[in-house]
Structure 1
Amino acid sequence: MKLATWNINSLRVRLPQVLDWLAQNPVDALCLQELKLADEHFPLEAFTDIGYHAVWAGQKTYNGVAVISREPGCDTTRNLPGFDDPQQRVIATTLPSPAGPLRVISAYCPNGQAVGSDKYEYKLRWFAALHEWLKNELVAHPRLAILGDYNVAPADEDVHDPAKWEGDVLVSEPERQAFRDLLDLGLSDAFRLFPQPEKSFSWWDYRRFAFRRNAGLRIDHILLSEALRPLCTACEIDKAPRAWEQPSDHTPVVATLTFS
């Protein structure tokens, strides 16, 4: 069973790329972020035509998340219960798996703009709310995967130039601590369960030929619960779509779960 995440930076613009990628990579579930379209404009038929189901939380111009899946989901939740937020950043649904129900969450975590800004403080509050919600989700759904754009590079090895980025948003210590707090719930960073090439990133700025220079960050992650960790047999970053014409600035991350 393959689970993937991809911030596509406008589904309206990049729907053909998503469909092409799914044709080449028929994963069981694809979590999308930054749909940037209202609910009523979600292109459901384009996915049903190729054999997929979808749940989504859309928002005009900004944000928006979805789970595209081979099997229909159930018990779907939008946003963080108890956290008053008009921004559409979380969609969770339960999918069937050979081991039993599998909770899949697509999350678009706040960027934070700049350390010390109002948006940065919102980001930290949002992560705290996510942490509290996941505590309960993990009790209710022991097989849980939360995939998405976390807007946090967890360690210096996830940054192309740690000295240049030191103290900035996406790498600041409070943000990294918020990410570690999620791991302390019993979640594991699937990518770091395996040896990986150095300078492995999932996001590259559009400016200054960043992708060509591999001047990126690893900010897109797949976190797995304790029940799923031993089932994970691979996790890879697929850099190919970042080289396509008019690409997203992010590229997919894919985890493989193997059930005996």
Structure 2
Amino acid sequence: MKIATYNVNGVNGRLPVLLRWLEESQPDIAVLQELKAPQEKFPRAAIEAAGYSSIWRGQKSWNGVALLSRVGEIHETRRDLPGDPDDVESRYIEAAVNGLLIAGLYLPNGNPRPGPKFDNKLRWFDRLITHAAELIATGLPVIILGDFNVMPTDRDVYKPERWLDDALFAPEVRTAYARLLEQGWTDALRTMHPDETIYTFWDYFRNAFGRDAGLRIDHILLSPLLADRLQDAQVDRHVRGWEKTSDHAPVWIELSD
């Protein structure tokens, strides 16, 4: 089974890119982030025509997450992260699909740091860690994946010395990611590429993609029950080079049956 995550950076404006990638890569399950579309503007018909059922949580102009499947019904379990009833941002979606529990997320950016946006990022991360522990405790096969907006180590960022003051590379954020992994989650991409320089995001400015000045901020985490089933994990880097594409590249894993 092939499971992917892709920050599309505007699902309607980049719909041709999304559909082209779905046809080429054919993930069985995919989660999307940064839809940047209200609930009623999600392109459900076009995605259905590509062979995928979908659930989504939209938000006008910002955020937005979706889950797509071509391998069975999507049984939604939640569409918000527990812990803050006043959080109205569309950043989390969770569903059971084909024997897996899939949690798709778009973690807050947190810049500028310090400030209220950074404080909110840390609170969101704490809520994620709490909920992830509950997911681990179920003993179910769970995958948490999406745009985490964190570079876990120096190896995950081009010229780390330039990012020391950024919320994506802050010590508190990297510590939070490490706390998450300590629950027993497997970072699939790093597990398959332990020593490689591998990125998932390249800014639009300063020819970042051409210079390979990237970041690894899109992650796929596997619960203990799935760790031994991991066969492959890759970045569809070439998609970042397509015309009118997102600044992220899709990331995917393959699990054995």
TM-score, normalisation: structure 1:
0.95
User: What CA distance in whole angstroms lies between the structure 2 residues aligned with 1:104 and 1:172?
Assistant: 27
Equivalent residue for 2:97?
95
After TM superposition, the structure 1 = structure 2 runs for residues 28-39 of structure 1, keeping only pairs within 5 Å, are 28-39=28-39
The gaps in structure 1 that reach 5 residues or longer are none
1:159-202 CA deviation, whole Å, 9 max, x = no partner? 11012222422111100011111111211100111236733110
Runs of 4+ in 1 over 4 A off after TM superposition: none
Determine helix, strand or coil for the equivalent of 2:137: helix
Question: Is the Cα contact below 8 Å between 1:206 and 1:249 reproduced in 2?
Answer: yes
Determine helix, strand or coil for the equivalent of 1:12: coil
Q: Is 1:157 equivalent to 2:155 in the alignment?
A: yes
1:14-42 CA deviation, whole Å, 9 max, x = no partner? 11111111111111111100000011111
User: What CA distance in whole angstroms lies between the structure 1 residues aligned with 2:186 and 2:247?
Assistant: 25
Q: Which of 182, 186, 191 lines up with 1:184 in the alignment?
A: 182
Q: Count how many residue pairs are aligned between Structure 1 and Structure 2.
A: 255
Percent sequence identity over matched residues? 42
Partner amino acid for 1:32?
L
Partner amino acid for 2:78?
T
After TM superposition, the structure 1 = structure 2 runs for residues 127-142 of structure 1, keeping only pairs within 5 Å, are 127-140=125-138, 142=140
Equivalent residue for 2:48?
48
After TM superposition, the structure 1 = structure 2 runs for residues 59-98 of structure 1, keeping only pairs within 5 Å, are 59-70=59-70, 71-83=72-84, 84-96=86-98
After TM superposition, the structure 1 = structure 2 runs for residues 164-183 of structure 1, keeping only pairs within 5 Å, are 164-183=162-181
User: What CA distance in whole angstroms lies between the structure 2 residues aligned with 1:53 and 1:29?
Assistant: 10
The gaps in structure 2 that reach 5 residues or longer are none
Equivalent residue for 2:111?
113
Equivalent residue for 2:141?
143
Question: How far apart are residue 141 of structure 1 and its match?
Answer: 5.5
Question: Is the Cα contact below 8 Å between 2:7 and 2:34 reproduced in 1?
Answer: yes
TM-score, normalisation: structure 2:
0.96
User: What CA distance in whole angstroms lies between the structure 1 residues aligned with 2:193 and 2:220?
Assistant: 16
Please report the RMSD computed on the Cα atoms of aligned residues, expressed in angstroms.
1.2
Question: Is the Cα contact below 8 Å between 1:54 and 1:72 reproduced in 2?
Answer: no
